[in-house]
Amino acid sequence: MFVMGAIFGEIGKRLPIFNKYIGGAPVMIFLVAAYFVYAGIFTQKEIDAISNVMDKSNFLNLFIAVLITGAILSVNRKLLLKSLLGYIPTILAGIVGASLFGIVIGLCFGIPVDPYHDAVRSADYGRW
């Protein structure tokens, strides 16, 4: 399986459109492995072993986190900082807008605004 993964990883890395737009080697390896399971090329013992590793160690969560981190770190630093400076005001405006919308809707339904009571309740994580 390791040799097949290495071969299809190289294929995924060398295909220009697949590498640039779909994800390259890691995505190619996952797609080919999924097809091999579907086609019955892997035995049930191999499928059980891989499923056990994926389920018990949360490998897929780690893999996704590594892919996202790698994608963020591969962006040009100046471009990343420039876009971050554009996103921060937008995110803050969205938070303020959503808060005001929630307050207005709450007032429409007769729920009073009590900052101290709401702060204590939110600090208690809803256990009242």
SS3 content of the chain, % helix, strand, coil (to 5): 80, 0, 20
Higher pLDDT, 122 or 46: 46
Answer whether 65's CB lies under 8 Å from 75's CB.
no
Write down the pTM of the prediction.
0.48
From residue 119, give the alpha-carbon distance in Å to each of 5, 10, 101, 111.
53, 55, 18, 15
- Give the Cα separation of 128 and 126 in Å (integer): 6
Q: Which tens digit of pLDDT belongs to each residue from 58-85?
A: 888 888 899 889 888 888 888 888 888 8
Q: Which tens digit of pLDDT belongs to each residue from 8-45?
A: 889 988 988 888 888 888 889 989 999 999 999 989 99
